[in-house]
Amino acid sequence: MELQRMPALFAGLEELSVPGWDAAALQQATQAYPRPRAIVCVSPRWQTRGVCISIAPEQDSLHAMESVSTRVARRVAGLLDMPSARLDSSHPLDPEVVQLVQALYPQADIPVVQISLDSELSALEHAALAAWLRPLREQGVLIAGIGTICPDADDATRQQVSCFRDQVGQLIDAGDIVRLAECRLPAPGGERDMHLAPSALPLLYALAVREAGDSVEFFNGKCAGMPATPSVVLHPKAA
């Protein structure tokens, strides 16, 4: 039986951290597809030297199926084909990963694998690494990134962050992942360039698996009444 290509998505971490977060929009976007055979997630919380692939079940989650997760983790390691990539049986799924999966598929047991962020890679190297995961979508695997879209500047003003996100959104829509990874966008006033913060790297993992014909859907969120990182879904081209 031929599997339907799965979407890929990026969820804003700010919204996930708000009590009572409403996942209805993302649920609706993913309900048009079959239940995934597995979910591969990337979160900014887990950073390591070299790439680690978690095979440890989250004991409080219904989504931990160790034997299947291990097979998926080995498949991920094979696709990455990096000597430094290794399976990690000690790291539990990050809380935001568990929260996202439970919100999207509250009644389903789905194996979940998490990939760490290699702290020694550049943003462009992360994007190149993530592109190797593209075949997973054809195998019924949902790829999800969780993070924030913000500049790597602690002193950025609200206006600068808003402008930065608008420009990033345009690059996402255009599919320009190289420029997005390099991401030196002019701040308002032109006094300096701004680029992605490390917390935005999971966005590249969702976008790097984009196929020709995929459409982009944005869900603009709010956090405490203020604009927050939007969620993004890549929808496969209709057959």
Q: How far apart are CA 196 and CA 186, in angstroms?
A: 12
What is the per-residue pLDDT across 66-84, written as a single tens digit (0 to 9) for each? Answer: 566 788 888 898 898 787 7
Q: What is the pLDDT of residue 40?
A: 95
Question: Measured in Å, how far apart are the chain's first and last C-alpha atoms?
Answer: 15
Q: What is the pLDDT of residue 166?
A: 81
Domain ranges for the chain, please list them: 8-235
Provide, rounded to the nearest whole percent, the portion of the chain with pLDDT above 70: 77
Q: What is the pLDDT of residue 218?
A: 82
Lowest mean pLDDT among 123-127, 182-186, 222-226: 222-226
What is the per-residue pLDDT across 153-206, written as a single tens digit (0 to 9) for each? Answer: 666 677 777 777 788 888 888 888 888 887 666 655 555 567 777 888 999 999
> pTM here?
0.85
- Per DSSP bridges, beta strands 185-186 and 193-194 are antiparallel
> Does the domain made of 8-235 have the CATH classification 3.40.830.10?
yes
How confident is the model over 145-158, as a mean pLDDT? 75
Which is higher by pLDDT, 67 or 105?
A: 105
Average pLDDT score, the chain = 80
Q: Which token pair is 49?
A: 């030297």
- Measured CA to CA in angstroms, residue 90 lies from 77, 83, 181, 203, 208 at distances of 17, 20, 30, 25, 28
Lowest mean pLDDT among 90-104, 128-142, 188-202: 188-202
